[in-house]
Amino acid sequence: MKNLFSDVETFKEALQTEVSAQFGRDFEDAYPEERYLALTSLIRNQLGYSWKATKKSVAEHHTKQLYYFSMEFLLGRLMTSNLMNMGVYDVVRQGMKELGMELHDLEILEADAGLGNGGLGRLAACFLDSLASLNLAGNGNCIRYRYGLFKQEIVNDQQVEKPDCWLRLGNVWEVWKPQHAVQVKFGGTLDAYMDQYGKFHSTYHPDFVVKAVPYDMPVVGYHTLTTNTLRLWDAQVDEESVQADNLNHYLNAVSALTANVYPDDSTNEGKELRLKQEYFFVCAGIDQIIRSHLRINPSLDNLSDEVAIQLNDTHPVLVIPELMRVLMDDYNYNWDDAWNIVTHTVAYTNHTIMSEALERWPQDLMRNLLPRLYMIIEEIERRFRWEVDRAGMGYRFGEMSILKDNQVHMANLAIVGSHSVNGVAKIHSEILVNDVLSAFAALYPDRFNNKTNGITHRRWLVYANPQLTDLLKEYIGDSFIRHPDDLRKLERYVDDSELQKKFFEVKRQRKQILADYVKETLNIDVNVDSMFDVQCKRLHAYKRQLMNIMHIMYLYLRMKQDPNFRIQPTTYFFSAKAAPGYKLAKEIIKLIVKVSNRINSDPQVSQYIKVVFIPNYSVSIAEMLTNAADVSEQISTAGKEASGTGNMKFMMNGALTLGTLDGANVEIVEQVGYENAKIFGLKVDQIEAIKRDNSYDVWRIYNSNPKLRMVIDSLTNCTWSENPNEFQLIFNDLMLHRDEFFVLADFDAYLMAHNEVAGWYADKPAWARAMLMNIARSGYFSSDRTIREYAEEIWGLDEVKFTEKQFKEFELSKEDYLLASEPLEV
Ligand SMILES: *Cc1c(COP(=O)(O)O)cnc(C)c1O
């Protein structure tokens, strides 16, 4: 194996050769795009060696593999994180410098791979990084959407959706595998009969057949050989299956299947195309798993010894009936044996308890689109009913049944067909067991567990915040890159005034980078000495961006009334996409933008407050916002945010959490202590009690709270817009639809919390100490910890094995590798 990145000279020569070979030009004459494409092909090719070694080792040792089935992978840019994980970043940066350019100028040419909506997709991406870095064989399975989630622009103060053409320069990381294409069949009819032995036979006449063609992307771990695969399926024409009379109709249907990500977050749209997408990547993924297994095993009997499948939410839950179908119809297993294999292989992660987000499909739609799978689901339901009766829980069957109200309840199917069901933060898992899924928890007590989410500290700290990383190294060495719990070593220095000074300097640099971006893209001047208060996440009523902007509206109105009322200078940042059909969310964006225009152009108030809405929230924007923040707004209605992961990114970069006791915020304060965060607002049990007594009265709050009244009135009295009806949906939501997410109820507590935070910020040593404590205690939220828990408690994975010789060949030391697999230090 030739390592083209072993030293600067070798690298420079290889890059120049690559540019000439690919584009017929000298490096000096090449366009930046050409240089980018050449550099990334070099990286991709180099990864081929460790990729091969990993695949070989896994096959040879029958290492158990995980397949993470997720509709979404929100990867972001990959070039630099690949270089860092390969351990060649410094060589490349130096080489590029000597060739007369900054690596950064190529980095920014890469489009974010935005194959997802938000937290759920980003979690999948963080998991891939941790799996490879912990030497676990874990692969992703998803769709190769030609367009990511939409690109958001703000036009006339409103969100406009533009296509997100992430494949503009192609996807340099992928490898096309046409030889592994799979047929996927939809609709049509099934001729079925039972033979004299009770064995089911069928001939399927589908009315729509497509070819699923895989594109594989290598996922490289940090300083190790382990290189896993993210498989993205593209839909292609199946030549044999086209009927001549409807060619155009067929071509359009094939093209639509993988055109784009469904832009829903926390709602379920229930569109047929979405169900088609779900079956498409499930069917193709299962086919590949079976074929790989049979290449090295005589049968599928031992599938669950060598394969674990994790369902990221219910979107891939058709894995359960599909695997049953293949085992029974194609490999002649009887029901019980097939069910045994399926339930030992599959595990399910629940991401939400909000009923509008729970996936349900009309039974007719499912039956028409997937006739054989529907039959199997009916049989699962029949046998499940029997099991529930036998367990003496028949009286609760209604809560748990899969088929009811003419719908297929996907979460219930997932729970019945899995050996593990997990929530994504402690409080969320508790609500599942005690409330939403309590019948299931009584029936299957051992099936339920918690796996608190995490983020890869390699991207969100080491890569996104090199300034802070360098400072940390200076004080505590670099062991935290391998063992994020070692961030705790920083605790020793939190009162060290020298460190505090240097930390403020780092924070200021990050704020300056964000301020420069804001100046360049939005032409807004931002004061980097003001407090940076950030809320960036999908726009949703339960996340309560509305409460945040209402607090800002209050500050403005007060300042206009009272020249003596002034606050700690603060810049409020928002960044959020709204689902295109979510009218209330879009109106909230409009309100934020209109308020920001008004405030930023007010000569007095703008000395104390600026409001910035950064368009097109994405991984790359998150990388800028989370480490420039002083305050992290995590203000969802208690009980509604399953975990949140944005909260962890902020914490790890030293921002203070201003939040409710919801999702992983609960564990964040558990780690840092109440003295190092600002928690406010109603708690889950209080909200439950208000709902139970039916005692929530928005008009009473409105009438008794003049501050709040002033803000609510301003929505309709032409303060922010000439049109008094401009914010009618918001007004109605709060005042006529009884404020489902308790914005009014928490408003006062939120104001007071802000006051306290502002006072705290003014006390520099106390503030620095709290920020440093947040960093020191953030190791728990590395997805390495999360993945270790999944691997040990759900998947049963062992590490990928490599030989001494392979380490030599890859110029890695075995010692280095072993370090990566040391158990967590507590
Ligand atoms: C982390 C992240 C999210 C999730 O943010 P939450 O605050 O947990 O909702 C969403 N989108 C992007 C781009 C992210 O990086």
> Do 256 and 168 contact (CB within 8 A), yes or no?
no
Indicate the DSSP class of residue 636.
Answer: P
CA distance 389 to 411: 20
For 522-531, write each residue's pLDDT tens digit.
Answer: 999 999 999 9
DSSP H or E segment with residue 104 = helix 103-107
Q: Is the pLDDT of residue 814 over 60?
A: no
pLDDT on residue 825: 40
579-597 pLDDT, tens digit each: 999 999 999 999 999 999 9
Separation of alpha carbons 53 and 218, rounded Å: 12
Domain ranges of the chain: 318-451, 457-479+490-710+742-784
The two three-digit tokens of residue 232, written as one number: 């993205």
The question of whether 754 is a catalytic residue gets the answer no
Distance CA 557, CA 543 (A): 24
Which pLDDT score, from 0 to 100, does residue 769 have?
Answer: 98
**For a pocket test of ligand 1, which of 73, 74, 544, 635 has the largest count of ligand atoms closer than 8 A to its C-beta?**
74
Instruction: Please tell me whether the overall predicted TM-score, pTM, comes out greater than 0.85 for this model.
Output: yes
Band of residue 804 on the pLDDT scale cut at 50, 70, 90: confident
Neighbours of 721 (CB within 10 A): 17
457-479+490-710+742-784 carries CATH number 2.60.15.10: no
Q: Are 506 and 87 in contact (CB under 8 A)?
A: no
Task: Give the Cα separation of 159 and 584 in Å (integer).
Answer: 12
Nearest-angstrom CA–CA distance, 132 and 344: 24
DSSP one-letter string for 193-233: EE-TTS-EEEEEE-SEEEEEEEEEEEEE-TTSS-EEEEEEE
- What is the tens place of the pLDDT at every residue in 17-35? 999 999 999 999 999 999 9
Q: How far is the CA of 774 from the centre of ligand 1 (A)?
A: 19
Mean pLDDT of the chain: 95
* Span from the CA of 265 to the centroid of ligand 1 (angstroms): 11
Whole-number Å distance, alpha carbon 649 to ligand 1 midpoint, is 9
Residue nearest to atom 6 of ligand 1 (CA): 646
Q: For residue range 275-317, list pLDDT tens digits in order.
A: 999 999 999 999 999 999 999 999 999 999 999 999 999 999 9
Cα of 576 vs centre of ligand 1, distance in Å, is 9
Residue 44 and residue 54 in contact, taking contact as beta carbons nearer than 8 Å: no
Locate the ligand 1 atom nearest the alpha carbon of residue 74 and give its number: 13
| Tokens representing residue 472 in the block | 């940390």
Helix axes 743-762, 545-561, angle to 10 degrees: 70
Structure tokens at 225: 């050989």
For residue 618, which atom of ligand 1 is closest to its CA? 13
Return the exposure string of 757-770: e unless at least 16 CB atoms fall within 10 Å of the residue's CB, then b. bbebbeeeeebbbb
Distance from the alpha carbon of residue 535 to the mean position of ligand 1, in angstroms:
10
Beta strands 360-362 and 113-115: pairing type? unpaired
Distance 343 CA to ligand 1 centre (A): 31
The token duo for 459 is 């991207």
- CA 57 to each of CA 44, 65, 223, 458: distance values in angstroms, whole numbers, following the listed order: 20, 12, 17, 26
Distance between CA 525 and CA 739 in Å, rounded? 35
Q: Hunting for tokens 């063609």 — which residue is that?
A: 213
pLDDT tens per residue, range 621-678 = 999 999 999 999 999 999 999 999 999 999 999 999 999 999 999 999 999 999 999 9
Instruction: Give the orientation angle of helix 89-98 with respect to helix 79-86, to 10 degrees.
Output: 120
Please tell me the distance from the alpha carbon of residue 120 to that of residue 382, in angstroms, as a whole number. Answer: 32
Active-site choice (12, 211, 409, 649) = 649
- CA gap 671, 678 in Å, rounded: 13
Q: Known catalytic residue: 645? A: yes
Which member of 77, 151, 325, 351 is catalytic? 351
Tokens matching residue 663:
């999702």
Nearest to 345 by CA among 297, 302, 315, 283: 302
* pLDDT at residue 819 greater than cutoff 60: no
Mutate to test the pocket of ligand 1, among 631, 645, 650 (most ligand atoms within 8 A of CB): 645
Among 122, 453, 631, 781, which is best to mutate for testing ligand 1, by the most ligand atoms less than 8 A from CB? 122
* pLDDT at res. 266: 77
- CA 256 – ligand 1 centroid, Å: 27
Asked if 798 contacts 63 with a C-beta cutoff of 8 angstroms, the reply is yes
Residue 198 has pLDDT above 80, yes or no: no
Segment 698-705 shows an average pLDDT of: 97
Tell me, what amino acid is at 177? K
Give the distance (Å) from ligand 1 centre to CA of residue 621: 10
| CA–CA separation, 141 and 151 (whole Å) | 24
Angle at 74 between CA 68 and CA 77, to 5 degrees: 120
pLDDT of residue 639: 96
Nearest residue to 676 via CA among 651, 656, 660: 656
Among 305, 311, 306, which Cα is nearest to 292's? Answer: 306
Question: What is the model's pLDDT at position 817?
Answer: 52
Q: Measured from the CA of 536, which atom of ligand 1 is nearest?
A: 7
Length of the chain: 826
CA 35 to each of CA 19, 175, 216, 617: distance values in angstroms, whole numbers, following the listed order: 6, 20, 23, 28
Nearest protein Cα to ligand 1, atom 11: 118
CA-nearest residue for atom 3, ligand 1, is 119
Q: Is 657 exposed, middle or buried (0-12, 13-18, 19+ CB in 10 A)?
A: buried
Q: What is the H or E stretch that residue 532 is in? A: strand 531-536
Distance CA 421, CA 310 (A): 10
Number of H helices, E strands in the chain: 35, 25
Which residue has the least CA distance to atom 15 on ligand 1? 619
Tokens coding 588: 């909230």
User: Which atom of ligand 1 has the smallest separation from the CA of 455?
Assistant: 1
pLDDT at 575 over 80: yes
Q: Which atom of ligand 1 is nearest the CA belonging to 76?
A: 13
Atom of ligand 1 at shortest distance to CA of 117?
11
* CB neighbourhood size of 525 (10 A): 11
Catalytic residue among 360, 537, 586, 785: 537
Return the percentage of the chain with pLDDT > 90, whole number. Answer: 92
pLDDT reading at 365 higher than 60:
yes
Asked about 426 being catalytic, the answer comes back as no
Q: What is the distance between the alpha carbons of residues 622 and 629, in angstroms, rounded to a whole number? A: 11
pLDDT at 357 over 90: no
- In the chain, the percentage of residues whose pLDDT exceeds 70 is 98
CA distance 192 to 205: 11
Residues whose beta carbon lies within 6 Å of some atom of ligand 1: 74, 118-119, 122, 537-538, 617-619, 622, 644-646, 649
pLDDT above 50 (res 820): no
- pLDDT tens-place string over residues 434-475: 999 999 999 999 999 999 999 999 999 999 999 999 999 999
Q: Write out pLDDT tens, residues 210-222.
A: 999 999 999 999 9
- Cα angle, residue 450 at apex, residues 270 and 784 outer, rounded to 5°: 100
pLDDT at 194 over 90: no
How many A from CA of 113 to the centre of ligand 1? 14
Active-site residue among 63, 469, 645, 719?
645
Residues 6 or more apart from 143 whose CB is under 8 A from it?
71, 115, 232, 233, 234, 258, 277, 280, 281
